[in-house]
Chains A and B, each alone.
Chain A
């Protein structure tokens, strides 16, 4: 069965970096894009962008350029989201999700940023 398993919660200080992983199983990793989405506490879903798992080419939504980087390690069917120069307002649950038309979601990773 299709599964996207994300890394565990992170507590970071402002200015630090974090790297969230998303390990896919149950399907051919390079057959589907991986999206990244953010959900701030009590808020809705924000699409951050997607990465082409064939080419590694990322596409970023407006507002998610510069500090946000999508990457892959296809040898282990894993996608990554790295966020640098963390701010308190980056505190959120981050989800990976499969496909250009999203069908499966990871369980979410809470990133908390606090001094």
Chain B
């Protein structure tokens, strides 16, 4: 498969834990990368190489992977985490990038 599949929408209560998943065959071979995008803004890298955070990203963000599924977990979600989240990886050739359709996270 040359696709990455994400749930369109997920919600979480303030302060609770939520996982956003990304499924695709390419995830068996390549790490997932995760981006956060707020309305009217460019995406921001939050997790790379499956479970590494760039400087400035809170440690409540973490990543994991199992088989063909990668997950982004937010432990203790905050109001400012409400955003669209996109996963990304490479296709089977390794030369092209794939993006999931995005998950809209609502913090209740």
Closest residue on chain A to residue B44 by CB atoms: A105
Interface residues of A, CB < 8 Å — how many?
20
Contacting pair B42 A35 (CB below 8 A)? no
Contacting pair B98 A103 (CB below 8 A)? no
Closest residue on chain B to residue A59 by CB atoms: B95
* Chain B interface residue number, banded: 20 to 34
Interface of B with A (CB < 8 Å)?
Answer: 33, 35, 37, 42-45, 48-49, 54, 84, 86, 88, 95-102
Closest residue on chain A to residue B99 by CB atoms: A45
Contacting pair B102 A101 (CB below 8 A)? no
A-B interface pairs (CB < 8 A), number:
46
Contacting pair A45 B86 (CB below 8 A)? yes
Known: A102-B88, A105-B43, A108-B42. Is A61-B96 also a contact (CB below 8 A)? Answer: yes
Shortest A34–chain B CB gap in Å is: 12
Closest residue on chain A to residue B100 by CB atoms: A44
